[in-house]
């Protein structure tokens, strides 16, 4: 239920269903993305990433693919996350389109 008492059922775009070969995007949408809602509290189908969730997703990706952990991961994030966020948040609204996460992660991991 949403705060205004409307039942909320999250609907993902069909191309990212359970059988999708695009496992990364499915993971982003299921685990990290925030879905915008209409004024009536219904799902809009538009998925965004705030900075907090993008940091969490970034840490997971860097740990898995760059094999970073602990202080090395913290140092990497301190060095590269801020500039990557600024590069993608061109409107300075604190939200990114979830569909840009593939490019975001490639840019972040390119050090």
- Note the pLDDT of residue 45: 82
| Domain membership flag for residue 8 | no
Exposure string for 40-71, b = 16+ CB within 10 A, e = fewer:
eeebeeebbbeeebbeebbbebbeeeeebeee
Q: In the chain, how many domains are there?
A: 1
Nearest-angstrom CA–CA distance, 62 and 67: 6
CATH of the domain at 86: 1.10.238
Residue 24 domain-assigned (yes or no)? yes
Classify residue 21: in a domain, yes or no.
Answer: yes
Q: Which two tokens stand for residue 4?
A: 């205004």
Q: Confirm whether 2 is domain-assigned.
A: no
Give the residue from 24, 25, 58, 48 showing the smallest Cα distance to 98. 48
Domain that holds residue 51: 14-109
Q: What is the mean pLDDT of each run of 10 residues along the chain (111 residues)?
A: 59 68 85 86 86 98 97 98 97 95 96 67
Among 85, 77, 80, 79, which Cα is nearest to 104's?
A: 85
- What predicted TM-score, i.e. pTM, was given to this entire model? 0.83
pLDDT of residue 65: 94
In a domain, 7, yes or no: no
Please check whether residue 96 lies inside any domain of the structure. yes
What is the DSSP-derived secondary structure letter of residue 105? H
């Amino acid at each position: 239920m949403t705060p205004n008492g409307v039942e909320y059922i999250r609907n993902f775009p069909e191309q990212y269903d359970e059988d999708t070969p695009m496992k990364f995007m499915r993971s982003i949408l299921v685990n990290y993305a925030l879905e915008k809602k209409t004024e009536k509290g219904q799902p809009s189908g538009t998925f965004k990433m705030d900075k907090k969730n993008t940091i969490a997703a970034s840490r997971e990706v860097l740990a898995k693919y760059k094999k970073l952990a602990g202080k090395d991961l913290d140092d990497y994030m301190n060095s590269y996350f801020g500039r990557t966020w600024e590069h993608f948040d061109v409107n300075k609204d604190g939200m990114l389109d979830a569909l840009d996460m593939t490019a975001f992660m490639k840019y972040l991991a390119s050090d």
